[in-house]
């Protein structure tokens, strides 16, 4: 089984947290990078624990 992600995708943990960029994929292991302040972080996660990051939608009131 290969990961459904590709290098450059923006993802997050299914449980929440920071948005991360996929930097490497090795089978079902996905290495991601992200920033905490000015410090770069890097870790490897099982693909099943990640989901594609989607920007929160901003709802605008409609005037009539």
For the chain, the domains span 10-48
**Beta-strand pair 50-52/39-46:** unpaired
- For 9, other C-beta atoms within 10 Å of its C-beta total 18
pLDDT digits (tens, 9 = 90+) for 9-20: 999 999 999 999
Q: What is the pLDDT of residue 25?
A: 97
Interatomic CA distance for residues 15 and 23, integer angstroms:
20
pLDDT digits (tens, 9 = 90+) for 9-61: 999 999 999 999 999 999 999 999 999 999 999 999 999 999 999 887 777 67
Strand partners, 22: 32
Q: What is the pLDDT of residue 64?
A: 63
SS3 38: coil
- For 32, other C-beta atoms within 10 Å of its C-beta total 23
Residue 2 has pLDDT above 50, yes or no: no
């Amino acid at each position: 089984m290969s990961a459904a992600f590709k290098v450059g995708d923006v993802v997050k943990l299914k449980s929440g947290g920071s948005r991360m960029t996929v930097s490497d994929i090795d089978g079902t292991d996905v290495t991601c990078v992200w920033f905490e302040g000015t410090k770069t972080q890097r870790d490897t996660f099982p693909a099943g624990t990640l989901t594609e990051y989607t920007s929160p939608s901003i709802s605008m009131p409609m005037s009539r």
